[in-house]
Structure 1
Amino acid sequence: MIKSSRKHRSKPNFIKASIALSIFSTFTIFATQAQQESTDIEAKEDESQIERVVITARKRSEALVETPVAVTAFSDAALNDMGARKIGDFLEKAPGVSLVDSGSFQQLAVRGISTSLGGNANGYYLNNVPFTGITVPWNPNVQSFDLERVEVLRGPQGTLFGEGAMGGTVRILTNDPDPVEFYGRIDGQYSSTSGGEDNNSFRGMVNIPLMQDVAALRVVAIEEKQGGWIDIVDGEKNYNQIDTSTYRTQLKITPTERMNIEFAYWKSDQDVGGSNRALDDSTIQLADSVSEQGYEQFSASFDYEFDSVNFSYAYGKNELYYDVVTDIPGLGLLDAGIEIKVETHELLFTNNTDGDLDWTFGYYYRDGKREDTIFIENFTDSISPSRSEAQAIFGEVEYHLNKDWRVALGARYFEEDLKVSESGIDISGPFETSYEDEFSQVSPRLIISYEPNDNWLVYASGAQGFRGGQAQPASSVSLANELGIDLPESIDSDTITTYELGSKSTLLDGSLVLEAAAYYSDWEDVPVRFEIISGALNGIYQSEGITIAGLELALSARLSKNLTMNGGLSLMDPKYSEDVPGSSINKGDKPTNISDVSANLSFTYRQHAFQDYDWFGYISGQYFSEREDTSYATYQAGDDITLMNMRVGLDNYRYGVYVFVNNLTDEDGAIGPRSPDVAVRSQPRTIGLELSMQF
């Protein structure tokens, strides 16, 4: 056993943790989104009440406060109030969710389930089409504009959302084309970053009825530049600029009241001049990696409402690419690329009758292809194509025992055929390998819920999730053999089982919505990174597992007619259950990029100004404790981080002008682990102006 040589830092700052706990001690929980205005919100009876949000987290429409699953739902109006530009700007406001965005890559964690290798550990959907990395954790950086809502489901969702939804699932739902009237929206923004370049963005949407009440087209275009702020010592200034282009087109046809047909096309490209990793003074000694990445998606869906059954079919075709060029100290130039093409089909049947029984059944098929290329100067040049074919049948039935008690039981049977080959040349000469394996899994879920009245729900659940296995890169196996290291040629699938007790309640005549959840997860056979050459080349190993105990609290409160408060708190104790032989991971170590404590609090204010204009104000604060990466012996933990944003403005139903300050306190701590002194940093204090118009 090779013991870690890294220095252990102290546990999260307990003073800050105590402050966070005291802030939320009077709260019992949730509804981070209830202030949000959306087309899925029922009409209010009183302006002092929190609005009721309708979600589709179980693939049928349900009120958020009546769904026995831990869900956070962000509406388009709430995202506009925050000034969110991309998904990473708000996901961490959901309890138990963290996102480390290096600029070139995002690492999403839900309830301590995170990975930087292997397939996705958390589900990720654009409308009804899943993104899946095919043995790489890929979360496309979607721009948050003209969205109906974003749902964040916490806990294993393997029964309804399939492979990889172990920690939870993020569902990004866009606004449908409207066949009634022509309208549009334009947003423009300019801002300046302290010590860096300026930023600008243009976002536009137009809705075009093609046939009154029957067909419509909706088009979205986004062009954004995030100016750099990190300097290379004695070299390029502000080199980490990011340019993003995103385009989306949706066509919806409703031939009859019972039938809907929809086609959609997305395309997004991102040029990254360098990652957001730097020293405390926003400098870096050597040039960082330059990368290009993007995604393209075509989808088609059809749904029909029979007298007692709803039927739907969804087809998706995703293409993703990632190319990176960088220098590896001691080895030379690295030029690598990943290209993934995935086609998916899903058939879904749900009942639409009132009664004691609700059910959902479906079939899913996926055909995924991936090709990796890697060139390391004077070391290796290889190409590795892989193919993954998978299918699943799934279903969930909920029975109303009486007016208070419900029992839901579901399961998903999944099977995958994975084929991988690799050929090339390395320091030992030419090589050629191939690998084939099959994986299958049954993922069950049981939910028992008690709802004695319309304002209170208590539930208990047990659920499982899993990922398929993967092949070890042949170049890693070859080099490990040369160095006398025994690496497995393949990695088995990993599974998670989570037990949860939760509560949702509406209090004070509807002006306060609370949610609480306590859970315990047992994540088995977790793939971990194995250092073959420190800081340069890795292999994959498999640990016994990780256990996670956690508590989540969240709330939404209407303090007055004009003022709304939202907050969330997450406490976690994630740790490896055993030492990982041959690696730097020891029993009790924390998994990568996970905070033990995280909390957020925000206030939204709206007051009539004159004529039909309102004054608007928004301020938010967010705290999370230090994060580690115990896979690397030389890495040190990051910092406790506190971030604050503020936005004020004047708007009406057509025009808006806003001034905003992001990272109000100019927090420059290490968001993720240091390696050894370089780490991901927040964009420094940024002050800007935004103008919006609807027509």
Structure 2
Amino acid sequence: MRAFARVSRSQVAFDAASVRGRKSHRLVGSFPPEVALEKLLFGTGLGFVRSSADVFIIKLLPSRAKSPPTPQAVQVAVEVERPSEIIVTARKREERAVDVPVALSAVRGRQLEQRGARAVTDFLQEFPGVGSYDRGSGLLKLTIRGVSTSLGANENGYYLDDMPFTGVTVPLSPDVRAWDLDRIEVLRGPQGTLFGEGSLGGTVRILTKDADLDIWESKGDAYLSTTDGGGTNRGIKGAFNAPIVPGMLAVRVAGTDEHLPGWVDNDATGGHNLNDQTFKTYRAKARFNPTERLIINGSYWFYKGTFPGGDSTATDAGQQSRATVLASSVKYGLAGLSALYDFGSARAFYGYSHSRFDLPQSGPAAGGHLDTRTGITVDAHEARLASTNIQPLQWTFGAYLRDASRDDSLQFPLFDVDNTSAVTSKARAVFGEMTYTIPFAPVGLTVGLRYYHEHLRGIETNTGVMTVQPDGNYHSWNPRFSVAWHPRKDSTVYVSAAKGFRGGQLQPTVAVALARPFGIALPDILAQDSIWTYEIGGKAELLDKRLTLEAAAYYSDWKNVAVRLPLGDTGYNGLVNSKGTRMKGVELSIASRPIPALSFMASGSYTDATYAAPVPGTGIRAGTAVEDVAKFTAGASAEYRKAVNETLSGVARVSWQHSSPRRFASFAGYRPGDRIDRIDVRFGIEAERYSISLFADNVTNEHGAESFRTVQQIAPNELDVVANRPRPRTLGIELSFLVPGDR
């Protein structure tokens, strides 16, 4: 303990009788103080809390004499005194966010619950460089640093715990309810080395709470609210943690049940509040520590969202589309199993995940009736070995395997379309990353490389006639380089160059057939796309962590981006590779706690994302804005807490989100969206075990077009112009409780 105090420049307090005879592990490497101390105490029966900026108190664990505190338990102790500091695993090892030479933002799950967030889309846009909106159909639109498309596999990484989600041949980011989460991490810039395919603009990691081996805990939440022009919303949530065998085996379960009536009307049919939303979710996690060195985790997610009256698109007058209204439901399930073994000088990890995603849609479209269904199954394995020693050289090596399949069906009798298709994707990758810290200078040099190979196969059936599509084979070498300088203990300045990648896709055979009469030759297979991003950034924690700053500037070159090519007046489109897009931007964020009772956060970003060259037959020209990207995004929030008496505290919070208009250039007739400004306020009373809050979401009743406006002709002189809309002003009350247990 004395050696740790000397090296970390911290104070360590302990009772000599409690530590006498106990022997810690030998530790070599570069770690944040909390992580280093956790490793030192592993298996000793001792834990710690951090009572101030640089003071650690060593304590005997009464009910867990042979196992260390979980990382979550350590984090809770840190959170109480150091609210600005958070431990992340952005490089697949535990580090302080301020030490990682990557532009990243992170928020704890407890903060999301305190602010009343319902879904991840409620707050993602408060992070610089991130654009997001809820489609109202169980899916969200996600852009990071101008990387946005509606074609191909996911362009931005989307991880649920350690389980990757991919749409295979279409970007899909499913809704996640913001309940019982450990934290959200958003990594900006290509993450192809460690997170693989699809992480071109960045990666979102949604990490749920692990089972705690020692604490019995239950918590719940219920809310009731009313939406302007809509109905009464209600939701109930719960979570429970049970240490079955204290110190060895525990389970944690969580669930939600929410119903949100719609607000979109259709005066032509007499329908009101049509776009209802119902969410039912549950998660279960188990943790088993059979030995001091081995941790085994199992998990299961289930989500079902039902949207019988269509999504959140509407006209400027709040009317439902008269061209296309598709009832839908989204259902997905994910099962995962992982194991972590600590060798002392290195840690070995293996993870397996299985997911199934289903999206049926049905309803009127273009004067006819459309039925469509998408089903995606993914099995993924990852194994890696990472160093843990405090040595100048840190390293991570691993391998990845993914098998995925997608099945689609489309019936549209008006145009005699009866189509089914099946696509299989087999991906394999090996990767590694090393960081060397110069012994005589606070400088770290990082180099990483990932090799990726994917094989696509497809079959399509049109009105009973089967066509075997040509195979697609894609491979890519994907490096990353960075230099990080740490001028002081809590600051990092870095420069980096990184490559992201994504496999191509197969051309639908219907599009090939429809294109021929117009003299349009479509490729059978689309090329893969890739991106290089060059970045300089810095971050720092100042004034005893009462002030946190982060800034970055970048330039990205995204090549071979797939775009839609309209096929005459058929209403269909083909797919072609463009010359690509160019993005440049700046990001800034600040978090401050000038006094203990007041906290403030603000962020902003400028993203200039444009196409590099024209695409004949489309509305794309050189300099045209990339689809669905807001040039400016910003967010700010302030929170004030004041003690009412010895047991109660009052809380007031206000937040603001801004985005500039979004556009869609492939179809020249589509119109831009609107500038969006949303303000939420919240007032509450909190006690140790419960809280009650009054809230107002979208106080100004913002109803502009969050997305671009789609345009369809429904009569010779009449157009149907609709866009995605935010939920109108919503007023409500929320009650939460927590029943903590003893160790």
Question: So what's the TM-score if we normalise by structure 1?
Answer: 0.92
1:364 aligns with 2:400: yes
1:375 maps to 411
- 1:357-406: CA deviations, max 9, x gaps? 11111000001011111111132101111111111000100000134111
- 1:489-527: CA deviations, max 9, x gaps? 111100000000001112233211100000000000001
Cα separation, 2, equivalents of 1:544 and 1:118: 16
Contact 2:325 2:365 in 1 (8 A): no
Cα separation, 2, equivalents of 1:180 and 1:196: 45
CA shift, 1:45, in A, is 11
1:275 aligns with 2:308: no
- 1:232-276: CA deviations, max 9, x gaps? 123221110111111111111011221111111111111112111
Structure 2 residue matching 1:661: 3-state secondary structure: strand
1:406 counterpart letter in structure 2: G
Contact 2:469 2:506 in 1 (8 A): no
1:640 maps to 675
Alignment of 1:101-180 (within 5 A): 101-104=134-137, 105-180=139-214
Moved more, 285-294 or 186-195: 285-294
How well do the aligned residues superpose, as a CA RMSD in angstroms? Answer: 1.7
Contact 1:38 1:75 in 2 (8 A): no
1:386 aligns with 2:423: yes
1:679 maps to 723
Larger radius of gyration: 2
- 1:614-646: CA deviations, max 9, x gaps? 111110011111110111111111111111001
Alignment of 1:262-661 (within 5 A): 262-272=297-307, 273-286=309-322, 288-330=325-367, 332-378=368-414, 379-402=416-439, 403-425=441-463, 430=465, 432-532=467-567, 536-661=571-696
2:455 counterpart letter in structure 1: D
Higher RCO structure (Cα 8 Å, ≥6 apart): 1
Contact 1:140 1:294 in 2 (8 A): no
Structure 2 residue matching 1:291: 3-state secondary structure: strand
Structure 2 residue matching 1:549: 3-state secondary structure: strand
Cα separation, 2, equivalents of 1:576 and 1:43: 48
Question: What percent identity do the matched residue pairs reach?
Answer: 38
CA shift, 1:483, in A, is 3.5
Cα separation, 1, equivalents of 2:80 and 2:675: 41
Distance 1:367 1:46, change over 3 A: closer
Structure 2 residue matching 1:453: 3-state secondary structure: coil
Distance 1:198 1:46, change over 3 A: closer
CA shift, 1:126, in A, is 1.0
Distance 1:201 1:46, change over 3 A: closer
Contact 1:203 1:223 in 2 (8 A): yes
Moved more, 611-620 or 392-401: 611-620
1:83 maps to 116
1:11 maps to none
Distance 1:495 1:198, change over 3 A: same
Contact 2:321 2:722 in 1 (8 A): no
Cα separation, 2, equivalents of 1:307 and 1:226: 50
Alignment of 1:247-266 (within 5 A): 247-266=282-301
Cα separation, 2, equivalents of 1:510 and 1:432: 62
Structure 2 unaligned residues grouped into runs of 5+: 1-70, 712-720
2:123 counterpart letter in structure 1: F
Residue of 97, 103, 108 corresponding to 1:64: 97
Cα separation, 2, equivalents of 1:478 and 1:422: 13
Contact 1:69 1:153 in 2 (8 A): yes
Cα separation, 2, equivalents of 1:66 and 1:40: 18
CA shift, 1:535, in A, is 8.8
Structure 1 unaligned residues grouped into runs of 5+: 1-36
- 1:4-58: CA deviations, max 9, x gaps? xxxxxxxxxxxxxxxxxxxxxxxxxxxxxxxxx97564856996x6532110000
Distance 1:533 1:209, change over 3 A: farther
Cα separation, 2, equivalents of 1:463 and 1:413: 14
Cα separation, 1, equivalents of 2:734 and 2:98: 34
Cα separation, 2, equivalents of 1:157 and 1:455: 24
Cα separation, 1, equivalents of 2:422 and 2:321: 35
Question: So what's the TM-score if we normalise by structure 2?
Answer: 0.86
Structure 2 residue matching 1:77: 3-state secondary structure: helix
Distance 1:44 1:309, change over 3 A: closer
Distance 1:242 1:644, change over 3 A: same
Cα separation, 1, equivalents of 2:724 and 2:130: 18
Alignment of 1:185-196 (within 5 A): 185-196=219-230
CA shift, 1:222, in A, is 0.7
CA shift, 1:583, in A, is 1.2
Distance 1:310 1:155, change over 3 A: same
Contact 2:618 2:665 in 1 (8 A): no
Cα separation, 2, equivalents of 1:276 and 1:405: 49
